[in-house]
Amino acid sequence: MTTADAALPAVREPGFWDGVAHAYIPAGDLRVPAAVPTCDAAADDVDPVTREVVRYALMNANLDHSALIQRLCVSPVTMLTRDYQTSILTEVGDLVFLGPNLQYFSNSHALAIKWTLEHRAEAVGIADGDMFLSNDPWVGAPHQPDTALLTPVFVDGGLFCWVANTLHYSDVGGSTPGSFCIDAADTWSEPASWPPIKIAESGRLRDDVIGAFARQSRLPSALHMDLRAAVAGSETTRARILALVDRYGAGVLKTVMRDTMDAAEALFVQRLSSVPDGTWSHRGFAEGAVPGDHEVYAYQLNLHKRGDRLIVDNRGTDPQTGSINITYAALSGAVLAAITQSMTADLSGAYGGVYRRVEFRPEPGLLNCADHPAAVSPSGMLTTELTLNIAITVVAKMLSCGDEAARALVVGPSLPHFYGTIQGGADLTGAPFIFPNTDGMMGALGGMPTRDGVDAGGHFWIPEGIGNNVEDVEAQFPLLILHRRLLPGGADGAGRRRGGLGFVEATTPWREAVYQMAISMNESFAKGMGLVGANPGSRAATTVKLKTDVFDRMAGSEVGTRLADLEGDTHPLDSKPPAFLMASGDVVEWVSPTAAGWGDPIRRDPQAVLDDHRAGLVTAQDAGRVYGVVLEDDGAAVDVAATERARTAVRRRRLGGEEPRDEVAAPAAAMRVGDLLHVVDGRWWCNGADLGAAGENWKARARVIEGPARAFAAEFEVSDPVDVAMADRMVLREYVCPVTGLRIDMELARRGEPPLQDVRLD
């Protein structure tokens, strides 16, 4: 055993991950129990043309499964937002094809199917025409609204493969409309968790089970129709696979499935080989475990590269508490989504072979691998997205240590939450409604080594996701959207490559009988960290004004009004406020933040800053304040000499008044890490400065500038006393090259915490 391997977490004994007290994790290679016959046909030789035809036929069957659900379902969260996923898996539940929708469902179907094989094959039975429904987070669901339908496909009396889908159902019960129970202390206050149960048997749907499931919902009609869409998609895809078996033979299909997985594995191993062995870590933070809580909580992921495999653990995360937890299903799904969307997105969902090379060794009882009975239902807007942010960041750190091809695979930091609101109540007819405002799907993409992020560019973890049309929302729900606009560019998200801009949106109830704000989010400090010296993204905020004059203004043909211009009473909100009632004329404005950037802002190409200014994305004043770029009086060109002086002044300030020196070319044999760091002869090197042995934390020898997170720039300041108290728990640290005054990296930390050693090279 090497020293590096000795630092890895131990593997738990078989049976520990049971899906009851702890999350379910299969122990080793699973075999189909003898109680279920299998179809083990295989073809020794499939010609290349047939292989490609069959591979694409299977892939398209899965894509059509996805498209059919989207056409048949009725809930906007599925129909418009694409909060669902489809897949085809082998007889033992190993993924073959994943659809283009929610990527962190990547491991859910495999876990639920493997659990079903282990726990239902003998006692309940698995037969042709059966379907199983499950939303148990300790079996495979990310949270309870994400409900899976698992369909075994039999050929010649034997289990051949599985077809599966997961939909986010708009309401499956619990204490809060929409089933995001932010005030839950444990799972007993949340929607019921259903381990896999037969919803169809021998080709007949079980109305007793469907009725029991729908009885939990505030929107049973919508749930029924969405479930029928899931059933139709599964049945159609099962029929497509059987038609392919009839045409090409079971052996050919089985061989193509295995070859597809083998090819994905080989591609992943080849790309992983360009990265050195080592360990990378990233830590993110959440505030408030339940309404009224004012603590800050840490989540951490550690990614170990050992030869041709990756090992993932979660040490450094705080113990589970409140409603800000996830189980292993969401943890593994988020990490696998980050790995595949960064390194193998060109496989178009054929990711099963990649998963073979990723091993998880989580610690139970932590916020990102919670034990039963932790509350997890709000995770679909909170903790899962924070885990996605941490995962994509730690993968980016790893890839930034590789060659240029590896660096080109980097996906910038995602937003740390899925920002938005959930509103509900009844319209003037008394009909209930639940409006999950998923306009946060428009998101923003973070800066990358070779390009800027994308303004309102969505999220890496749901490629097909779209925001709502204003007209669709106003036609379906008793509210009006008052405005939706991009955020201005500033210090937030700035970098050598800037992050994509976020947006702000405002709504007001209209023609409602009862209107409740069930879920909203506020932040006292920005949580999306930039990479290799970039600024953080912006801080999200939700602001409510009650009894405004918005309708009087609209009567005077004044539309698109800014919240600050409205008369009304401001309703203060905590980081996770409890539900509250609203009425016509009350206005809620919420921010989906700007994404974080990549690299030191004063290394940004001045021409790119000028282009942003011409596009109206950054003012001339902010060009100088943030990027050190001085524009001529008319804003038509860059003042090159003044820009050089301004940037030198920034570097001098960072060095405490010392004169900065020029950058130094790295030795030819140096290994590049990020933008400025290198490893030379086993030691950290930055422009000639020795920052210690490569196994040590280079941050100890860099120049450090530490200050309150809210004081970093005007964009991060808060004024509410509660927000100030929360924000002052956090510091931002700038790690600066002692030679040039250029920023190597930044770190968000709780006050008094030691620096995180986020890169260890073996």
Q: Which of 549, 571, 599 is the last residue of a domain?
A: 599
- The answer on 664 and 606 residing in a single domain is yes
Q: Which has the closest alpha carbon to 573: 514, 503, 523?
A: 523
Q: β-strands 671-673, 204-205: how paired?
A: unpaired
Residue 57 lies in a domain: yes
Report whether pLDDT(3) > 70: no
Instruction: Tell me which of 215, 248, 265 is where a domain ends.
Output: 265
Task: Give the Cα-Cα-Cα angle 584, 524, 590 (nearest 5 degrees).
Answer: 30
Reading across the β-sheet that carries 743-750, which strands appear in turn? 703-708, 730-736, 743-750
Query: Structure tokens of 16?
Result: 């520990």
Neighbour count for residue 139 (Cβ, 10 Å): 26
Give pLDDT tens digits for 709-755. 999 999 999 998 989 999 999 999 999 999 999 999 999 999 999 99
The mean pLDDT of 490-495, rounded to a whole number, is 98
For residue 237, tell me if it sits in a domain: yes
Task: Examine residue 255 and state whether it is found in any structural domain, yes or no.
Answer: yes
Could you tell me if residue 18 is inside a domain?
Answer: no
639 with 755, same domain?
Answer: yes
**Residue 258 burial class via C-beta count within 10 angstroms: exposed 0-12, middle 13-18, buried 19 and up:** middle
**Residue range of the domain that includes 81:** 33-171+190-265
- Looking only at the bridges linking them, the beta strands covering 569-571 and 542-546 are antiparallel
Phi/psi zone of residue 686: left (φ > 0), alpha (ψ -120 to 50 degrees), beta? beta
Nearest to 302 by CA among 319, 277, 280, 317: 280
pLDDT band at 512 (very low <50, low <70, confident <90, very high): confident
The last residue of one of the domains, among 599, 634, 653, is 599
How far apart are alpha carbons 498 and 530 in whole angstroms?
9
Residue 648 included in any domain:
yes
**Integer Rg of the chain from CA:** 26
Asked whether the predicted pLDDT for residue 560 surpasses 80, the reply is no
Shared domain check, 552 and 643: no
Q: Please compute the mean of the pLDDT values over residues 60-77 and round it to a whole number.
A: 96
Looking at the structure of the chain, the number of domains it has is 3
262-274 residue pLDDT tens: 999 999 999 999 9
Q: How many CA atoms lie within 13 A of 511 on its CB side?
A: 11
Q: Kindly report, residue by residue over 445-476, the tens digit of the pLDDT.
A: 999 999 999 999 999 999 999 899 999 999 99
- pLDDT above 70 as % of the chain: 99
**Taking a C-beta distance cutoff of 8 angstroms, is the pair 583, 515 a contact?**
yes
Q: Report, in this order, helix, strand and coil percent for the chain, each rounded to 5.
A: 30, 25, 45
Average pLDDT value over all residues in the chain: 96
The answer to whether residues 232 and 247 belong to one domain is yes
What tokens does 158 get?
């034997």
pLDDT cut 90: percent of the chain above it = 91
Same domain, 108 and 232: yes
* Residue 485 token pair: 């606009």
**Would 9 be classed as within a structural domain?**
no
- DSSP per-residue codes, 298-358: EEEEEEEEETTEEEEE-TTPPBP-TT----HHHHHHHHHHHHHHHH-GGGTT--HHHHTTE
Query: Quick one: 104 and 77 in the same domain?
Result: yes
- Which residues have a Cβ under 8 Å from the Cβ of 280 and sit 6 or more positions away? 302, 303, 305, 394, 397, 398, 401, 758, 759, 760
pLDDT digits (tens, 9 = 90+) for 639-665: 999 999 999 999 999 999 999 999 999
Q: Say whether both 134 and 258 belong to one domain.
A: yes
Instruction: Find the farthest-apart pair of alpha carbons in the chain and give their distance in angstroms, rounded.
Output: 80
- Same domain for 704 and 593: no
Q: Is 163 helix (H, G, I), strand (E, B) or coil?
A: strand
Question: Could you tell me the pLDDT band of residue 1, with boundaries at 50, 70 and 90?
Answer: very low
Do 588 and 610 belong together in one domain? no
Q: Which two tokens stand for residue 332?
A: 């593994």
pLDDT band at 2 (very low <50, low <70, confident <90, very high): low
3-state secondary structure of 624: helix
Q: Is 578 a member of any domain? A: yes
656: left (phi over 0), alpha (psi -120 to 50) or beta: left
Same domain, 594 and 666: no
pLDDT of residue 80: 84
Give mean pLDDT, residues 84-112.
97
For residue 329, being part of any structural domain is answered with no
Give the tokens for residue 640.
């090159």
- Residues 137 and 161 reside in one and the same domain: yes
Do residues 605 and 576 share a domain?
no
For 476, the token pair is: 């379906």
